[in-house]
Amino acid sequence: PALTPTVARSADPVPQGLRTRGLVVARQQATISAPLQATIAAIGPENGERFAKAQPLVIFDCRIHEAELKRAQAIVEAARDTLTAKASLAASGSIARLQATLAEADLKKARADQNVAEARVAHCVIAAPYAGRVVRRIVNPHETVALRDALIEIVDDSAYEVRAFVPS
């Protein structure tokens, strides 16, 4: 019988030393943290669910912050009225100009306090920065979180990139 040579064939067409591994990752991903200390009133989509851009992801119970804003608005209104009255009295010479200047400074301080209160209220709703999916909800409604506590992990599932691990 004639001997026929046999060739060992590998199931892998690419030799082991030439393989390159890659990891597919989303271009945008984020862990959303608490911008203030508050109790969570509601939290958006469940794990794996989609959300739209600007959709509320986390809503805080901000009744205290809203009350502080109303108080600051009332103080600004009172300071404005005081300034108007003192400015007219100073113009007629009934009071010193310094009192009108101090009333103007009080109005500026009240407006600054109002701006701080408005900023706090603006953080009461965390909106999605982009459309995507929830990777992991870390907190639940009715939990109280501290400043910078992680709340929810999200990912933009519309654009991916491959991170290749190439051997040297």
Instruction: Give the tens place of pLDDT for each residue, 51-60.
Output: 999 999 999 9
If we measure between CA atoms, which residue out of 161, 152, 160 comes closest to residue 134?
A: 152
Q: Number of helices and strands (H, E) in the chain? A: 2, 10
- With cut-offs at 50, 70 and 90, classify the pLDDT of residue 161: confident
What does the alpha-carbon distance between residue 36 and residue 120 come to, in Å, rounded to a whole number?
8
In this prediction the pTM is 0.72
Average pLDDT over residues 131-140: 94
